[in-house]
Amino acid sequence: MFYHLTRSGPEEVLALILPRAMAAGWRVMLRSPDAARRERLDARLWLEPEEGFLPHGVEGGPFDAEQPVLIGAGPALNGAQGVVLLDGAEPLAGEEVCERLWVLFDGNQEAAVQGARSLWTRLTGLGMAAQYWSEESGRWQMKTERKAAG
């Protein structure tokens, strides 16, 4: 699922995605190459949602494999069923079989848009299903969808 962010920040979108993924019983990997982003996500997950924090950890700890949500730059050591890619992070080998791969990108940065387009082409070229969501109208709308090949 590709999320073209123009009004919301990644944190707001994650506030929607993560509780749903956890309710489904999934573990999630939040991947970003940006250390400052990872620190902000860690701090934010301690404070939200308002009814309680989302249990999570930052990669490199002794309990990475047990974290419901793992924040890092590397592989999903927690056996994640869902992977969130931020700041141009790339999917890793084997993640094409995850239940869900979310790509959040800043629609106000041309390089981010081009990177997301390239990733869309690569993933759909592998036969993966994909959806493109945009909030340009003020609410989230699915703009296009590719069904899985096969």
Give the pLDDT band of residue 25 (cuts 50, 70, 90).
very high
The whole-angstrom separation of Cα 31 and Cα 71 is 6
DSSP assignment string, 75-136: --TT--SEEEE-TT--PPTTGGGSSEEEEEEETT-HHHHHHHHHHHHHHHHTT--EEEEE-T
- What is the residue-averaged pLDDT of the chain? 91
Enumerate domains of the chain plus CATH numbers.
2-146 (3.40.50.10110)
Question: What is the structure's pLDDT at 47?
Answer: 75
Residue-level pLDDT at 15? 85
Q: What is the pLDDT of residues 49-94, one digit of tens each?
A: 666 678 899 999 999 999 999 999 999 999 999 999 999 999 998 8
Rounded Cα gap, residues 65 and 71, in angstroms: 12
pTM: 0.92
- Is 70 exceeded by the pLDDT of residue 125? yes
